Structure 1
Amino acid sequence: MLLRFIACGVFAWAAYIAFERNEDILPWVFIVLAIIFNPILKIHFPKEMWVVIDFFSGIFLILIREKIQENDKQST
C-alpha cells in the first residue's frame, strides 16, 4: 500500500513536470501509470499482470532517466 502511494505520487509529479517541459507523450504515460498505481481507487489485476506492469514500469523509468537528467542539466 505504501509503495502505491509513493509510485502514484511520483508518477503524478513526473506528469506535472513533463507538462511544464511541453513534452508530447510523456505526461500522458505518467498519468496512466499514476492511475494504475492509484492507492485510493484501486485497479485490480491478476498477480501475473502486476508482475508485467511492474517490470515494464521499471524498464520505462530506467530508459527515461537519461532524458530527465539531460533536461535538468540544460535548465541549470
Structure 2
Amino acid sequence: MIEFLTQNCWWIPFYGLVGATLTLPWSTGIIQRTGPRPAAYFNILMTLLAFIHGSIVYQAVCHQEPREII
C-alpha cells in the first residue's frame, strides 16, 4: 500500500483540483437548496485526503536511503 501511494504521489496536487471541481455546482448557483455547506464538506474531505496521502508518503520517503537520479 505504501509503495502504491509513493508511486502515485503526483496525485496529491490534484486533490485540491477535484475538490474545486466538485464545488462548481454550488459556486455557479446551479444548486441553491442545500446552501454552501456541502461544498465546504467536499473541500474539507479532499484536503484531508491530500494531507493523509502526503503524510504517508513523507513518512515512507524519510526512512529510505537517498537515490541518485541520472
User: Going by fraction, where is helix more abundant, 1 or 2?
Assistant: 1
TM-score (structure 1 length as normaliser) = 0.38
TM-score (structure 2 length as normaliser) = 0.40
Higher relative contact order (CA 8 A, sep 6+): 2
